[in-house]
Chains A and B, each alone.
Chain A
Amino acid sequence: MIEIKNLHKSYPMGKDSLHVLKGLDLHIKEGEFVSIMGSSGSGKSTLLNIVGLLDEHDEGEYFLNGQKIEKLDEKKAAVLRNKFLGFVFQSFNLISYKNALENVALPLYYRGTSRKERLKTAMEYLDKVGLKDWAKHLPSELSGGQKQRVAIARALVSRPKVVLADEPTGALDSTTSDSVMDLLKEINREGMTVFVITHEEEIAEQTDRIVRLKDGVIISDEKVNKNVKA
Chain B
Amino acid sequence: MKTIFDKDTWQEIYGVLRKNVMRTIITMIGVFWGIFLLITLLGLAKGVENKFNKEIGDLATNSVFVFGQATGMPFGGFQEGRPMQLKLSDAEVIKEQIEGIEFVVPRNQNQGAVVRKFLEGNYSVTGDYPLLDEVQKKKLIYGRFINDNDINLSRKIVVISQDVYEDLFEIDEFPIGEFIAINKINYKVVGVFKRANTPGPREDIHVPFTTFQKVYNQGNNIGWMMITGKPEFDISQIEADVKLLLKNLHDVHPEDSRAFGSINLGEMFKQVTEFLTGMQFLTIFVGLSTLIAGIFAIGNILLITVKERTKEIGIRRALGAKPWEIKTQIIMESVTLSLLAGIIGIIAGGAVLYLMNMMFSGPDSAIINPSVNITTVLAALFTLVFLGTLIGLIPASRAVKIRPIEALRDE
Contact = CB atoms under 8 A, between A and B. Distances in A.
Interface in B310-325: 311-312, 314-325
A81 B315 CA distance: 12
Interface string B369-411: 0000000000000000000000000000000100111001001
Contacts of A91: 411
A201 B322 CA distance: 37
Contacts of B408: 54, 89, 93
B23 interface: no
B7 interface: yes
A49 interface: yes
Given A55-B405, A91-B411, A115-B7, A97 B16 contact: yes
B319 A81 contact: yes
Contacts of A154: 319
A52 B320 CA distance: 11
Interface residues of B, number: 28
Given A54-B405, A81-B318, A154-B319, A97 B19 contact: yes
Contacts of A52: 318
A54 B320 contact: no
Contact of B316 (A79, A106, A158): A106
Interface string A74-101: 1100110111000101010111111000
Contacts of A49: 405
A154 to B, nearest CB: 7
Interface in A25-50: 49
A95 B320 contact: no
B308 to A, nearest CB: 11
A87 B316 contact: no
A77 B11 CA distance: 25
Nearest to A95: B312
Contacts of A55: 405
Interface string B1-16: 0000001100110011
Contacts, number: 68
A102 B14 CA distance: 13
Interface residues of A, number: 29
Given A54-B404, A93-B408, A97-B19, A78 B312 contact: no
Contact of B319 (A75, A82, A102): A82
Contacts of B250: none
A109 B318 contact: no
Given A54-B408, A55-B405, A74 B323 contact: yes
Interface in A167-206: none
Contacts of A87: 318-319
Contacts of A107: 319-320
A54 B314 CA distance: 10
24 contacts: A54-B405, A54-B408, A74-B322, A74-B400, A75-B323, A75-B324, A78-B320, A79-B320, A81-B317, A81-B319, A82-B319, A87-B319, A93-B314, A95-B312, A95-B316, A97-B19, A98-B15, A106-B316, A107-B319, A107-B320, A110-B320, A110-B321, A110-B325, A111-B320
Interface of B: 7-8, 11-12, 15-16, 18-19, 311-312, 314-325, 400, 403-405, 408, 411
